[in-house]
Amino acid sequence: MSNWVIEANSLTKIYQMGEVEVHALRGLSVQIAHGEIVAIMGPSGSGKSTLMNIIGCLDRPTAGEYYLDGELVSKLTDDQLATIRNRKVGFVFQSFNLLSRATSLANVELPLRYAGVSHGRREQARQALESVGLGDRITHRPNELSGGQMQRVAIARALVNQPAIILADEPTGNLDSKSGSEIMDLLLSLNREHGTTLIIVTHDSDVAAHTQRIIHLRDGVVEENHL
């Protein structure tokens, strides 16, 4: 097993938009080590979202190789990718993306359900909620929670399967600065306690300042990669 949890070699992604080919990634290479906290920054159109989608196994590169936790995932089928996402990737979105009809507990249980876990599922989900400080909110539905609390539920959902990486897309984008910094603290503490690799896509340089390394993208390649 290599030292890298993420190893991407000359990734290319071309979208066909009508007649025009859009080159979102142009031979991008990047490595991220286990337990690292990394921010991905860049102006819009720089290929940030595309890179995040490929790192999160939501999409496949047009060319290039991508290893996630030692597995070559750039050539897998849709269902194989779904399994990888389930086991290795935890997502935190800007808009939370919780199931509005389901309780916090049911939302956190969701990845376990698709993993086929049936024993102790409820208990695992409860522990995940406790670890984000929502042990007393397990039967609440999203519309009964504040933005910060919803994002905490989303983080609990992301870490319940003990993934290799947590991928956060503007995790504080929809929050006020106070709950935003609380969420950042929570993410950082998860990294400290569990050693989970944390990859944050953001515009916000304050958020990026909390990380160990910032990868700047421009026009589909890494422009700057500094500690």
Residues engaged in binding other proteins (CB under 8 A): 53, 56, 58-59, 78-79, 82-83, 85-87, 91, 93, 97, 99, 101, 110-111, 113-115, 118, 157, 161
Cα angle for residues 7, 12, 13 (degrees, 5° grid): 115
Residue 33 or 117 with smaller CB distance to other proteins: 117
User: Closest approach of Cβ 53 to other proteins, in Å?
Assistant: 5
Task: Give CA angle at 37 (34, 40), nearest 5°.
Answer: 115
Q: Which is nearer to other proteins, 110 or 221 (CB)?
A: 110
Contacts of 173 (CB under 8 A, 6+ apart): 94, 202, 203, 204
CB of 141 to other proteins, least distance (A): 11
Q: How far is the CB of 105 from other proteins (least distance, A)?
A: 14
Cβ proximity to other proteins: between 16 and 118 the closer is 118
Residue 212 beta carbon to other proteins: minimum distance, rounded to whole angstroms: 26
CB of 186 to other proteins, least distance (A): 19
Q: Which residues contact 185 (CB under 8 A, 6 or more apart)?
A: none
- Tell me whether residue 66 or residue 91 sits nearer to other proteins (CB atom): 91
Q: Round to whole Å and give the CA distance between 144 and 103.
A: 10
Judged by CB, which is closer to other proteins: 86, or 191?
A: 86
What is the C-alpha separation between 174 and 214, in angstroms, rounded?
22
* Residue whose CB is less far from other proteins, 84 or 214: 84
Query: What are residue 79's phi and psi, to 5 degrees?
Result: -70, -35
Reading across the β-sheet that carries 63-68, which strands appear in turn? Answer: 20-33, 4-17, 63-68, 71-72
- Rounded to the nearest whole angstrom, what is the least distance from the CB of residue 102 to other proteins in the complex? 8
Q: Which two tokens stand for residue 220?
A: 């589909």
Two tokens, residue 30: 């990047």
